[in-house]
C-alpha cells in the first residue's frame, strides 16, 4: 500500500488492528523501531502521553531507529510538556519532530475530511503535505514549535467539551420544566447554525472533558 509513490509500513501493539491495511498491501512491522527503519516520514497516533512515551522511548522505540532526514509527525492529543520533550529529544539526535494534531470524528478520517493543525519547522511540515492532503480537507500551521499545535488542539477540545456540557445543562433545565428536549435541540440548532446536536454527546465525552482539563492544568 502506498501514499503517492511512498510505501506504507504499519505497527500496532494489537496486531489484529493492522490486518485491514496489510490486506491492502501495507507492510506490517513487529516493533516500532522496525517500522521506522527505512522511513522518510513517521506518523504516530496513540491514546495518551504514556502510550507515546512507550512507543517513542521504550524498548525498540522509534527514537533511535529514525533514519537521518526522516520527519516524525505526532498526531496524538498529548500534553504541551510532552510535546516539548519530543522536540528536545529528536533535536538531540538531529532528527525533526512536528506536532500535527487533528480535528474530526472517525467518519471524517475515513472520508479524508480531517482538519490538521501543525507546529514545527516549515521545511519539515512541507514534507508532510502529501499525507495531509490524503487524510484531510484542510491543514494550517499554529506556529514554529510542535507544542503550538498541541496547545491549539487542547484549547479546541476544551471549547468543544464546554459546548457539550452547556448543551447538557440546557437540556436538563428544559426537561425539568416539562418541555420537550428534542424541540429545544431543533430550535437551538437553527439559532446556532448547527445540525445534528443530538449526536454531539459522545459516550466518552465526560472522560474527554476531564482529560482535556488535566492536559491544560485546570481543576477537574
Nearest to 185 by CA among 202, 201, 207: 201
Does pLDDT of 219 surpass 60?
A: no
Residues 116 and 158 in one domain: no
Q: What is the tens place of the pLDDT at every residue in 71-95?
A: 999 999 999 999 999 999 999 999 9
pLDDT at 105: 86
The answer to whether residues 163 and 141 belong to one domain is no
Structural domain containing residue 52: 2-145
Helix and strand counts by DSSP (H, E) for the chain: 9, 9
Question: Is 204 a member of any domain?
Answer: yes
Q: Do residues 82 and 102 both lie within one domain?
A: yes
Q: Is residue 220 part of a domain?
A: no
Residues 37, 103 within the same domain? yes
- Whose grid coordinates read 490524503? 134
Q: Is the pLDDT of residue 178 over 90?
A: yes
Residue 135 covered by a domain:
yes
Tell whether 106 and 56 lie within a shared domain. Answer: yes
CATH value at residue 93: 3.40.50.720
Helix 80-92 × helix 49-57 angle, to 10°:
10
* Domain end (from 110, 128, 145): 145
Mean pLDDT of the chain: 86
Report d(CA 44, CA 187) in Å as an integer. 41
Q: Which of 2-11, 160-169, 206-215 has the lowest mean pLDDT?
A: 206-215
Residue range 125-135, pLDDT digits in tens: 999 999 999 99
Residues 19 and 122 in one domain: yes
Indicate whether 213 pLDDT > 80.
Answer: no
Domain boundary pick from 83, 111, 145:
145
Within this chain, do residues 196 and 112 fall inside the same structural domain, yes or no?
A: no
> Counting Cβ atoms within 10 Å, is residue 59 exposed (0-12), middle (13-18) or buried (19+)?
exposed
Point out the domain boundary residue: 104, 129, 145: 145
- Residue 58 near residue 52 (C-beta atoms within 8 A): no
* Count of domains forming the chain: 2
Q: pLDDT value at position 118? A: 98
The reply to whether 123 and 47 lie within a common domain is yes
Cβ–Cβ under 8 Å, residues 61 and 33? yes
CA 209 to chain centre: 16
Residue 140 and residue 159 in one domain? no
- The band of 195, judged by pLDDT with boundaries at 50, 70 and 90, is very low
Query: Is residue 43 predicted with pLDDT exceeding 60?
Result: yes
Higher pLDDT, 217 or 116: 116
pTM score: 0.81
Residue 33: strand, helix, or coil: helix
Residues 18 and 95 in one domain: yes
| 1 pLDDT more than 70 | no
One domain, residues 39 and 81: yes
> Residues 97, 176: one domain?
no
Catalytic residues: 153
Among 134-148, 173-187, 192-206, the range of highest mean pLDDT:
134-148
Q: Does some domain include residue 132?
A: yes
* 8 Å CB contact between 170 and 137: no
In angstroms, the first-to-last Cα distance of the chain is 43
**For residues 90 and 97, is the Cβ–Cβ distance under 8 A?**
yes
Question: Is the per-residue pLDDT at 56 higher than 50?
Answer: yes
Of 34-43, 96-105, 127-136, 187-196, minimum mean pLDDT range: 187-196
Amino acid at each position: 500500500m502506498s501514499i503517492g509513490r511512498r510505501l506504507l509500513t504499519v505497527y500496532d501493539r494489537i496486531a489484529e488492528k493492522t490486518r485491514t491495511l496489510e490486506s491492502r498491501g501495507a507492510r506490517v512491522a513487529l516493533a516500532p523501531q522496525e517500522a521506522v527503519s527505512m522511513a522518510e516520514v513517521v506518523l504516530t497516533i496513540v491514546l495518551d502521553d504514556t502510550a507515546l512515551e512507550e512507543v517513542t522511548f521504550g524498548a525498540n522505540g522509534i527514537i533511535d531507529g529514525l533514519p537521518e532526514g526522516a520527519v516524525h509527525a505526532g498526531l496524538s492529543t498529548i500534553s504541551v510538556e510532552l510535546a516539548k520533550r519530543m522536540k528536545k529529544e529528536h533535536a538531540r539526535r538531529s532528527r525533526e519532530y512536528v506536532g500535527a494534531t487533528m480535528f474530526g470524528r472517525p467518519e471524517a478520517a475515513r472520508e479524508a475530511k480531517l482538519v490538521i493543525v501543525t507546529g514545527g519547522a516549515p521545511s519539515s511540515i512541507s514534507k508532510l503535505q502529501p499525507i495531509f492532503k490524503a487524510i484531510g480537507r484542510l491543514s494550517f500551521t499554529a506556529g514554529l514549535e510542535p507544542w503550538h499545535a498541541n496547545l491549539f488542539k487542547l484549547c479546541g477540545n476544551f471549547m468543544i467539551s464546554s459546548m457539550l456540557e452547556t448543551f447538557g445543562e440546557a437540556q436538563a433545565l428544559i426537561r425539568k420544566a416539562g418541555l420537550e428536549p428534542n424541540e429545544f435541540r431543533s430550535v437551538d440548532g437553527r439559532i446556532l447554525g448547527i445540525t445534528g446536536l443530538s449526536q454531539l454527546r459522545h459516550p466518552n465525552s465526560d472522560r474527554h472533558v476531564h482529560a482535556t482539563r488535566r492536559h491544560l492544568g485546570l481543576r477537574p
